[in-house]
């Protein structure tokens, strides 16, 4: 593994801090470490909070934000996002080139049992979308009539029928979500330096696990 890409929202807070931490702790010339943002504007500076915390920790990074692109995604051997939402956005936007995308916490912490639960969760979410599509297709005439008449009672009837069909899947989703750990790194944007410091420590802990995993591989 040679190329590692961290991804957050704007590429001004979390992902550049993660990039700086890994570069400092890994000290491996054979690995190229970069960062990007799913909603980043190219050329923005590091946030003041991130800069202050990195300086306090004796780290520095020459950084300008950049947007995630398909080229960057293809360049990376491993993509580590800061949240599950980031991961989902990357996979939805680049479905053909995202098998190597994980959240940072997922990649370093997930065991077989948790992975199985996440796969079950994904299956139930997929089933709900399929049942919604099937229900609308099978009741297209009623949908068209509702669009013409705006009859509220018809709408409520259809919604109740659909909810009854997806109820077992929704109950399973609620249960699995309550059992699964959160794999999100807290966003410090807009917070004071203490919040940035807390985020730094959270990432540092996970990146130390990442280094152990990379060196083992």
Helix intervals (H) in 3-139: 14-26, 48-56, 70-75, 84-93, 104-109, 112-138
Q: Which member of 8, 13, 34, 66 is catalytic?
A: 8
What single-letter DSSP state applies at residue 103?
E
Q: Which member of 13, 14, 34, 66 is catalytic?
A: 14
Q: Is the CB of residue 22 less than 8 Å from the CB of residue 104? A: no
Q: Is 123 exposed, middle or buried (0-12, 13-18, 19+ CB in 10 A)?
A: middle
SS3 3: strand
Calpha distance 33→60 (Å, rounded): 14
Q: Is the CB of residue 102 less than 8 Å from the CB of residue 83? A: no
Query: CA of 97: how far to CAs of 1, 6, 87, in Å?
Result: 17, 16, 12
- Beta-bridged to residue 3, according to DSSP, are 32
Query: Does the annotation mark 13 as catalytic?
Result: no
Query: Does the annotation mark 118 as catalytic?
Result: no
Calpha distance 151→134 (Å, rounded): 22
Positions annotated as catalytic residues are 8, 14
């Amino acid at each position: 593994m040679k190329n590692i890409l961290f991804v957050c929202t704007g590429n001004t807070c979390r992902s550049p801090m993660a990039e700086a931490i890994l570069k400092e702790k890994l000290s491996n010339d054979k690995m190229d470490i970069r960062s990007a943002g799913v909603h980043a504007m190219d050329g923005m500076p590091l946030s003041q909070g991130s800069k202050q915390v990195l300086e306090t920790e004796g780290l520095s990074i020459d950084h300008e934000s950049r947007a995630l692109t398909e080229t960057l995604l293809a360049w990376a051997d491993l993509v580590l996002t800061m949240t599950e939402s980031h991961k989902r956005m990357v996979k939805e936007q680049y479905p053909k080139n995202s098998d190597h995308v994980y959240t940072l916490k997922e990649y370093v912490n997930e065991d077989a049992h948790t992975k199985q639960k996440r796969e079950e969760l994904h299956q139930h979410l997929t089933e709900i979308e399929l049942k919604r599509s099937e229900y609308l297709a099978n009741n297209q005439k009623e949908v068209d009539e509702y669009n013409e008449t705006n009859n509220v009672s018809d709408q409520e009837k259809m919604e109740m029928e659909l909810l009854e069909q997806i109820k077992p899947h929704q109950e399973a989703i609620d249960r699995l979500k309550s059992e699964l750990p959160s794999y999100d790194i807290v966003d410090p944007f807009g917070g004071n330096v203490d919040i940035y410091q807390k985020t730094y420590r959270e990432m540092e802990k996970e990146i130390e696990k990442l280094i152990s995993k990379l060196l083992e591989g």
